[in-house]
Structure 1
Amino acid sequence: MGNSSRMTFFFIYTLLRRGLLLACLLLATPAWCAEILLTAAEDGDGVQAFAQALAQQRPEDRVTFKPLKDLPAPSRLPANTRLILLDLPGLDWRLQETQGPPTLVLRISRLQAHQRLGTTQPPRISLLWSDPPLDRQLRLIANVLPQARRIGVLYGAESEFLLPELRQYATPMDLEIVPQRWDNISDSRPLQTLFRNSDVLLGLDDPQLYNPKTAKNLLLSSYAQQLPLVGPNAGFVRAGSLASTYSDQSDWLAVLNRLLDHPPATWPRSLYPDHFKVVGNPQVARSLGIEQVDESSVAARLDEGEKRP
């Protein structure tokens, strides 16, 4: 083989080696980065902190936040965008058109979705529920108040649709749901009727029933009847209910991180976060003569129960 032939051979050989090395590197690293767009009607510190936390969690992706007022119609956004809505105005805007990028909706409760969507499921939209799942709340009651069997539930016109599901979860646990409609929050008689027939009150995340105007009446009546109130959310525990499960920002970031690792076509239509915590009110427990809730221990037991087949 002549010198020129050998040089040509080694030149081609070197190019092949470099090409194979480049191919291996391309296979070992992500082939693309996702365009993740967060939006909300209000551009506050909390929203910015959430967007920054998500960006830090996903350094390979391009994570941006834009106020809702600065966005075009949903159908005019690039199809490869992964859209995350952080408030209800964002969902109302997204529902204006069926066309639009795959969308994850945060901070929406079952009741809020039912008000807007009924039983329909819009395509390419996944709802991540903000209210505690009913079965988890019932298992919380079973853990902290094992003697309770009659679960009193106040409901209104907007939250009545949750009762069949609640009964479905309660039956295998040998719990009885005692429902009481409360249409006039100025009338305490439905409360008194429910308290007489219940061992514990489970609060649904219905802002018509559980709000700053009703909190004093509900909580004082609960103390007077020595009847614990569980839920409806972490904020109400701080106001004076006994305990609740809840998911915070770190829990939601974990959920988003998992979903964004997969193609949007695989996203569920709706989802409760796998990650959650338990909050209890020690002062309320003492006033009701109940053992203080061990938040981390109870959360671990509930989590273990959910992982069982």
Structure 2
Amino acid sequence: MRLPVTAFLRRALAALCLCCVALPAAHAVQQVVLVLSERGGVYEEFADAFEATLAGPGEAPRTRRVAASATAPEATLAGSDLIVAVGVQALRDAVGWPTPLPVLGALVPQLAFERLAAEVGRRRPPASLSAIWLDQPPLRLLRLFRQILPESRRAGVVLGPDSAAQLAALKAAAAQARIELAVETVAAESEVMPALARLLPTVDGLLAVPDGVVYRRDTVRGILLTTYRHRKPVIAFSQSYVNAGAAAAVFSTPALSALQAAELVRALPPGRAVQLPPPQHSAYPAVAINRQVARSLGLDPPADALALKAVERATENER
């Protein structure tokens, strides 16, 4: 028996709907080129975590790894939808390649990204260049400061040419955390220790923020020794500082940065050219505490998990 045309159309439409439900949604990105500043180390750690996260439920975009190079790997770029540049050198090389592919930077400091974006200028539309910054928002640093020094009233910070632009954000975060902020500003490495000598007698501890003049290989040891002699803890921005003698730090690991990058890629809407969101801070902070240093300074820091919860609350406030 032949079905009436209307009944046939209804059944065909129902079958088509079922097929649409059964098929997984296509990703906007089908292939990603991972450009690594160096082989091994934190860059490979990022790449491994990125690929593992990207592989999870549904059809996963493909990835291809290449080393940073001033010469574009044309064969690798062919058929790709997005470049993820891991590290400053990889980002610098990738934005210089003659390709319209959008570029997402990872494991890059905010200042380095902003300088590079300014250099690129109008050669790239804004939605084709973005990054997940290594830097932590000031409020996270101040929340951790409060966890290490719950009775503290005054925090000190030494700013240099790179970090001076963060002063307004630091003051706003300090007001939100109800901590008074004392600031010393320097223009050269030779001014760092005198500034620290003026600052430390007036504060409960020191906030370390990334700056190429203040915190460099030649100054870090002296800063940590001086603050320790003054019995003032340092709240820093990397695990390596905690290993060297800072009381605590809030930072992002390569694996956490990779998780955020992979989530960003999977969330890009399908069906149109890839448009990246604006640059952003890390969404997943980590905390490290040097308990030996803290105890020697007469401090009783909370468990890492509790300190991390306080920092994560600051993260929620930023959204």
TM-score normalised to structure 2 length: 0.81
State the distance in 1 between where 2:104 and 2:218 align: 32
For 1:243-258, what aligned pairs fall within 5 Å after superposition? 243-258=248-263
For 1:137, give the aligned amino acid.
L
Q: Note if contact 2:86-2:105 (Cα within 8 Å) is conserved in structure 1.
A: yes
What does residue 288 of structure 2 align with? 279
After superposition, give the CA deviation of every residue in 1:132-161 in whole Å (9 maximum; x if it has no partner).
221110111122212222221111122211
CA contact (8 A) 1:282 1:293 kept: no
CA contact (8 A) 1:167 1:177 kept: yes
Q: Contact 1:78–1:101 (CA<8 Å) still a contact in 2?
A: no
Alignment CA distance shift 1:72-1:20 (3 Å): farther
From 121, 128, 133, the equivalent of 1:129 is: 133
Q: What SS does structure 2 have at the residue aligned with 1:291?
A: coil
Give the structure 1 partner of residue 31 of structure 2: 35
Give the unaligned 5+ runs of structure 1: 1-5
The answer as to 2:210 corresponding to 1:201 is no
Give distance in 2, aligned partners of 1:69 and 1:81.
19
- Structure 2: state its 5+ residue gaps: none
CA deviations 1:160-212 (Å, max 9, x no partner) are: 11111111221233322211123343453211001122221100111322233
Q: Which has the higher contact order (CA 8 A, sep 6+)?
A: 2
Give the distance between the partners of 1:248 and 1:106, measured in 2 at CA: 11
Q: Would you say 1:189 and 2:158 are equivalent positions?
A: no
Q: What is residue 148 of structure 1 aligned with on the other side?
A: 152
Q: Does structure 2 conserve the Cα–Cα contact (< 8 Å) formed by 1:55 and 1:63?
A: yes
Q: Distance in 1 between matches of 2:296 and 2:41?
A: 37
Instruction: Quote the Cα distance in structure 2 between the aligned partners of 1:100 and 1:305.
Output: 37
1:261 is paired with a residue whose SS is: helix
Given candidates 47, 50, 69, the residue that maps to 1:51 is 47
Equivalent residue number for residue 72 of structure 2: 72
- 1:21 is displaced (CA, Å) by 5.2
| Distance in 2 of aligned mates of 1:66 and 1:79 | 15
Kindly state the Cα deviation for residue 296 of structure 1 after the two structures are TM-superposed. 0.8
Contact kept in structure 1, 2:54 and 2:266, CA below 8 Å? no
Q: Which deviates further from its counterpart, 195-204 or 115-124? A: 115-124
In structure 2, the partner of 1:172 is 176
What SS class does the counterpart of residue 267 from structure 2 fall into? coil
Aligned pair partner of 2:301 in 292, 298, 309 = 292
Change (3 A) 1:166 1:57: same
Name which one, 1 or 2, has greater alpha-carbon Rg: 1
In structure 2, relative to structure 1, the CA distance for the partners of 1:57 and 1:25 (3 Å cut) is farther
Cα 1:144/1:46, change in 2 over 3 Å: closer
Whichever residue aligns with residue 297 of structure 2, its letter is L
1:24 aligned residue: 18
Q: What CA deviation, in whole Å up to 9, does each residue of 1:234-269 have, x standing for no partner?
A: 211111111111121332232123211222756431
**What root-mean-square deviation, in Å, do the aligned CA atoms of Structure 1 and Structure 2 show?**
3.2
Match of 1:3 in 2: none
Alignment-derived partner of residue 220 in structure 1: 225
The answer (yes or no) to whether the contact 1:40–1:90 under 8 Å persists in 2 is yes
Q: Aligned with 1:148: secondary structure? A: coil
| Preserved CA contact (<8 Å) 1:277 1:295 | no
The one-letter code sitting in structure 2 at the alignment partner of 1:55 is: E
**Cα deviation 1:214-233 (Å, max 9, x = unaligned):** 12211111111111111032
In the alignment, the residues of structure 1 paired with residue 43 and residue 174 of structure 2 have an alpha-carbon distance, to the nearest angstrom, of 37
CA distance in 2: counterparts of 1:89 and 1:305, whole angstroms: 31
Question: How many residue pairs get matched?
Answer: 299
